[in-house]
């Protein structure tokens, strides 16, 4: 039923059907006054329906295969084009080489990545590190973008951002020193304050605000085009409180995930969702699992952080293109780094 495709209210749709307008063609052929009389609406409303119908029917026309068009279905993209596009899609480094290696270069733009782990494993640390790293200028192999940090738990600490930003600038200076030994003037012109200035921080206090914010982000990013990463810390926190209707919760979460995915594609940015873990009783024992597990169908990649002996490890739990692997990393005063880097302080006992 073609009328069902029109973005109009249910009652108008009902009236159209009752008056015998079932195809778009039939509506498009009618005159506004005729239509207004038939379905008992004002002239302006009728002409609005008409224009929607013509638009929809011409769109349908375009999609119909008639030999001359290469695209079989409008709005689609061939796998070959996608491959070419993916080659140029950019990555945000995690500052940990081992982790970057298993991720194929870092956190990918245009994709949604979920990162989960037990309390204190370093989820927020990775979030902050990415918010800083997205700003590494293009000369240094970064994206030179800005970051949006959505904080649902209140765990964002500015002092820590400053520490990580300072360390990042030091690293850049060292890098430029190595590569331009002949030049004297190779100072990094970035100041930690510039990095802090480019992190847009939103504190969300309820699930309503969270949904509202994600609706609003589209407009916000239009105004701040340079945003290259959105970090949500943590995505499920408010949805785990005050909800009785579980079906509603699932619907809202999946709508939100869809909107985020749309943002990722539209503005070519990376989405990182941090998630908490909870315990679940499976086959006679307690197991750790990510909170609201079934919702994560909607994210492309999932990384789980865990303790492996004395080291922190990251494990790729789900990804359409990367093979499942794990890599060690460590959280230092300077941020996320390779775990082999020896720390100055001695190990206890």
Q: Please give the residues from 36 up to 65 whose contact with other proteins meets the rule CB under 8 A.
A: none
Write down the least CB distance from residue 141 to other proteins, Å: 23
Interaction residues for other proteins, span 251-270 (CB under 8 A)? 251-252, 255
List 265, 307, 321, 340, residue binding other proteins (CB under 8 A): 307
User: Does the footprint of other proteins cover residue 15 (CB under 8 A)?
Assistant: no
The correct pick among 29, 322, 331, 338 for binding other proteins (CB under 8 A) is 331
C-alpha–C-alpha distance, residues 177 and 263, integer Å: 37
The reply on whether position 182 binds other proteins by CB under 8 A is no
Query: Which of residues 21 and 110 has its CB atom nearest to other proteins in the complex?
Result: 21
**The one segment of 33-41, 54-62, 63-71, 250-258 that binds other proteins by CB under 8 A:** 250-258
CB of 40 to other proteins, least distance (A): 15
Q: How far is residue 345 CA from its own chain's centroid?
A: 38
Is residue 33 a contact residue for other proteins (CB under 8 A)?
A: no
Instruction: Report in angstroms how near the CB of residue 246 gets to other proteins at its nearest.
Output: 12
> Least distance from C-beta 185 to other proteins, angstroms?
27
Indicate the helix (H) or strand (E) that contains 194. helix 192-197
Q: What is the smallest separation between the CB atom of 90 and other proteins, expressed in angstroms? A: 23
**CA–CA separation, 227 vs 152, rounded Å?**
20
* Stretch of 18-26, 82-90, 177-185, 214-222 contacting other proteins, by CB under 8 A: 214-222
Report the DSSP pairing between strands 199-203 and 227-233: unpaired
Per rule CB under 8 A, count of chain residues that contact other proteins = 83
Q: Within positions 62 to 101, which residues make up the interface with other proteins, using CB under 8 A?
A: none
Nearest CA to 137 out of 190, 97, 101, 180 is that of 190
Q: How far, rounded to the nearest angstrom, does the alpha carbon of residue 100 sit from its chain's CA centroid?
A: 18
Among 97, 158, 222, 325, binds other proteins (CB under 8 A): 158
Angle at 268 between CA 6 and CA 94, to 5 degrees: 140
SS3 115: strand
Task: Check binding of 338 to other proteins (CB under 8 A).
Answer: no
- Report CA-CA distances (Å) from 177 to 140, 180, 182, 185: 12, 6, 9, 9
Question: Which of 265, 229, 215 has its CA nearest to residue 128?
Answer: 229
Q: What is the DSSP letter of 198?
A: T
Pick from 107, 136, 172, 204: which binds other proteins (CB under 8 A)? Answer: 204
Q: Which residues, other chains included, contact 58 with Cβ-Cβ below 8 Å and sequence gap of 6+?
A: none
For residue 155, the 8-state DSSP code is -
Closer of 110 and 227 to other proteins (Cβ):
227
Q: Is residue 118 a contact point for other proteins (CB under 8 A)?
A: yes
Closest by Cα among 175, 170, 187 to 132: 170
Out of 89, 101, 208, 321, the residue judged to bind other proteins by CB under 8 A: 208
Residue 215 is a binding residue for other proteins (CB under 8 A):
yes
């Amino acid at each position: 039923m073609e009328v069902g495709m029109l973005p109009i209210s249910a009652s108008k749709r009902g009236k159209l059907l009752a008056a015998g307008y079932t195809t778009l063609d039939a509506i498009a052929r009618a005159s506004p006054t005729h239509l207004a009389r038939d379905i008992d609406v004002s002239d302006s409303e009728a002409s609005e329906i008409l224009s929607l119908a013509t638009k929809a029917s011409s769109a349908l026309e375009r999609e119909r295969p008639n030999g001359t068009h290469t695209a079989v279905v409008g709005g689609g993209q061939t796998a070959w084009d996608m491959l070419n596009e993916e080659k140029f899609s950019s990555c945000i480094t995690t500052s940990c080489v081992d982790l970057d290696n298993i991720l194929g270069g870092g956190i990918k733009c245009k994709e949604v990545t979920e990162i989960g782990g037990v309390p204190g494993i370093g989820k927020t640390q990775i979030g902050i590190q990415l918010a800083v790293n997205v700003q590494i200028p293009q000369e240094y192999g970064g994206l030179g973008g800005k970051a949006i940090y959505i904080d649902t738990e209140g765990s964002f600490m500015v002092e820590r951002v400053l520490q990580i930003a300072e360390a990042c600038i030091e690293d850049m200076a060292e890098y430029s020193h190595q590569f331009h030994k002949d030049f004297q003037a190779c100072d990094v012109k970035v100041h930690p304050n510039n990095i802090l200035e480019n992190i847009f921080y939103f504190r969300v206090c309820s699930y309503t605000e969270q949904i509202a914010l994600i609706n609003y982000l589209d407009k916000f990013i239009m105004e701040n085009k340079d945003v290259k990463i959105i970090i949500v810390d943590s995505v499920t926190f408010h949805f785990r409180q005050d909800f009785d209707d579980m079906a509603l919760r699932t619907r809202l979460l999946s709508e939100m995930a869809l909107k985020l995915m749309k943002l990722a594609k539209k503005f070519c940015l990376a989405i990182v969702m941090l998630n908490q873990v909870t315990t679940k009783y499976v086959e006679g024992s307690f197991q750790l699992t990510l909170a609201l597990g079934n919702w994560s169908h909607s994210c492309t990649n999932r990384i789980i952080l865990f303790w492996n002996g004395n080291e922190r490890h990251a494990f790729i739990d789900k990804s359409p293109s990367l093979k499942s692997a794990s890599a060690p990393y460590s959280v230092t005063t300077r941020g996320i780094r390779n775990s082999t880097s020896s720390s100055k302080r001695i190990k206890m006992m």
